[in-house]
Structure 1
Amino acid sequence: MNLRQLEILRAIVRYNTTVAAGRVLGLSQPAISNALKTMEEQVGFSLFQRSNNRIFPTEETKILLNEAETIFEIHKRIEMRIEDLKNNRIGQLRLVATPPLGYGVVAKAIQQIQKKKPNLKAFFDVHRYEDVIEYILSHRSEIGFVMGFAEHPGIVSQVVYKGHMVCVMPPEHPLMKLSVVTPQDLVRHRFIALEHGTKLGDALRHAFRQSKQDLHFAVEVRYGLTACALANAGVGVAVVDPLTADSSQYSLAQRPFVPEISVMASVVWAENRSLTRVSRQFIREVENIVHDR
């Protein structure tokens, strides 16, 4: 006896007549009667007693339906889960990001999407650029967010933000009198440089070479957030990407840095993997956040 037959049997018992059962299930009365006849032939015993044009379930039918109730409960849960998936109400996100994005826009996007989807589970980690790419290629994360993505075999990318690096400093710093900050302006102040060999660190050094100015630093750090922490502590000034500057917990002032250093944030995923609906929605959340800034 299959699930549809059990459903018909249950409806006949619940609604007392084959006519009412057919109406609820969207079947004709003859179709219900034929289904009942087929079921009795299959099981080899009567499922109903007939008296005065009325039918009453036998004890065997009651036992059968009592056992089948667990099946109907499971089926109902599956239908509810399908509806949740259809409306994108549940699921999970496996995310990875580099620090400039992970501690700012991605963290904010997680907060935003979980407000809309309280049951959504997120698995999130922050790593250096090379590790983010590895996480995506090995499917340990579905989507990743990186600054300055370079084409990589097996990786698909989509730009979510474009901007230019800025100089950050305490609000009372003398450089705040300038409309823009140049490498020549930084010579007279203690400078916190991004690490040589990193994408943004090398871009910063190229800008100094363009200006025919040597780069001298008081401190060298790997991440922009570290530079912001030191700038807030009065160690010096730094040039970081604007997403890091905006996400910093510190009350740092900003000035445009010239020559301009373009920065680009991208979402990446594996070429051989289709994005889930919830991942696509998360990408839209990130895009909305960077757009609003």
Structure 2
Amino acid sequence: MAKIEDMPDVSLRLLEIFAAMMRCSTTVETAEFLGVSQPAVSAGLRQLENQLGITLFERTGRRLQPTAEARDLFEEIRPLFGLLRSFSTRARDMRSGRVGRLRVIATPPLGYSVGPKALRAFLADRPNVTVSYDVRRLSNVLEAIETGQADVGLILNAEKLETVNSEIVQRSQMVVLLPEDDPLAEQSTIAAEDLKGRQIVGIDQASQLGRLVAKGFALGSAPYEPQIEVRYCQTAAALVADGMGLTVVDPYSAQPYLQRGLVARPFMPACEIRASVLTRKGVPHSSTLLGFMEAIRAHINA
């Protein structure tokens, strides 16, 4: 086992430069991000490489490309900066005299539907609680919960999660959102094969919900060939509302458009989705967090 005196004496400042360089493309961009000079960034990277005895970046043209070793080390220290941001946020809240603070992060379907309703009810009798509320992609939500940057996450998920606590608060299924005067709107359910030859607004198949829809079409032995593909279900719903065809989305994203000339019908074969509340493993729930989670349960089933 290596002795403590043999360990490299790496400062947080050098790690901060390294982490910023991993997110940026050049030392100039890194310097602008950190608010330091470009030579300071270059010197810091050289110092870190000397201390570790590892090459972290290789120059390719005007850019520095991280080595495989750099990528591995970055994954090791990524949670550290989440913890430091969390520490700074809590210290700022104490300094300003705030009694309580809740940090919420959600993916768009719940972040723009159930989340705001639950938050309004939650804050009604908690005037001294302040809230940070953010809507991001699923990968960002998971990272924020894992590293402690957020207290609670709200997501739609079709796959098992191992790195966070996950509580399912409602099970639902994907729906077809289409104009109310469309002949298919007369059906109680709409099968994948019913959509052959129709103009479909699809969800990015790099996302969980996009993969789920594509799998549904495959199980229904129907081709899935969206003419338009978007990242978020809300975007797909907005395009359908503007006369761009039909789409298969989650019911939360469809809900705001049901009073605007559109209807939703269950998509078959059924594609189950789970509305879940995420919290960090190994961290006790505060009374503030428990209160918000109770508000989510109440409003998602209302």
Q: Secondary structure at the match of 2:153?
A: strand
Q: Could you report, residue by residue, the CA deviation over 1:9-45 in whole angstroms, capped at 9, with x for unpaired residues?
A: xxxxxxxxxxxxxxxxxxxxxxxxxxxxxxxxxxxxx
CA–CA distance in structure 2, aligned partners of residues 279 and 247 of structure 1: 27
Report the equivalent of 1:155: 164
Displacement of 1:190 in angstroms is 0.9
CA–CA distance in structure 2, aligned partners of residues 283 and 249 of structure 1: 27
1:225 pairs with 234, 239, 251, which one?
Answer: 234
Report the equivalent of 1:175: 184
Report the equivalent of 1:108: 117
Say if 1:154 and 1:200 are closer, same or farther in 2 by CA, change over 3 A.
closer
Letter in 2 for 1:262: E
Q: Could you report, residue by residue, the CA deviation over 1:153-208 in whole angstroms, capped at 9, with x for unpaired residues?
A: 54111111101111111222222122211111111321111111211111111111
Moved more, 221-230 or 240-249: 240-249
CA–CA distance in structure 2, aligned partners of residues 290 and 195 of structure 1: 26
Alpha carbons 1:149, 1:266 under 8 Å: kept: no
Q: Secondary structure at the match of 1:111?
A: helix
Give me the TM-score of the superposition, normalised by structure 1: 0.66
2:127 pairs with 118, 130, 146, which one?
Answer: 118
Are 2:276 and 1:266 equivalent residues in the alignment?
Answer: yes
Report the equivalent of 1:238: 247
RMSD (Å) for aligned C-alpha atoms: 1.9
1:141 pairs with 145, 150, 175, which one?
Answer: 150
Q: Which structure 2 residues correspond to residues 5-24 of structure 1 after superposition, within 5 A?
A: none
Structure 2 portions without partners, runs of 5+: 1-98
Alpha carbons 1:168, 1:239 under 8 Å: kept: yes
Alpha carbons 2:177, 2:237 under 8 Å: kept: yes
Q: Percent identity at matched positions?
A: 29
Structure 1 portions without partners, runs of 5+: 1-89
Report the equivalent of 1:290: 300
Runs of 4+ in 1 over 6 A off after TM superposition: none
Q: Secondary structure at the match of 2:275?
A: strand
Give me the TM-score of the superposition, normalised by structure 2: 0.64
Q: Secondary structure at the match of 2:268?
A: coil
Alpha carbons 1:157, 1:268 under 8 Å: kept: yes
Report the equivalent of 1:91: 100
Report the equivalent of 2:137: 128
Displacement of 1:152 in angstroms is 4.3
Report the equivalent of 1:254: 264
Letter in 2 for 1:168: L
CA–CA distance in structure 1, aligned partners of residues 163 and 198 of structure 2: 44
Report the equivalent of 1:17: none
Q: Secondary structure at the match of 1:168?
A: strand
How many residues are aligned here? 204
Displacement of 1:150 in angstroms is 4.1
CA–CA distance in structure 1, aligned partners of residues 255 and 289 of structure 2: 24
Say if 1:207 and 1:235 are closer, same or farther in 2 by CA, change over 3 A.
same
Q: Secondary structure at the match of 1:185?
A: helix
Larger radius of gyration: 1
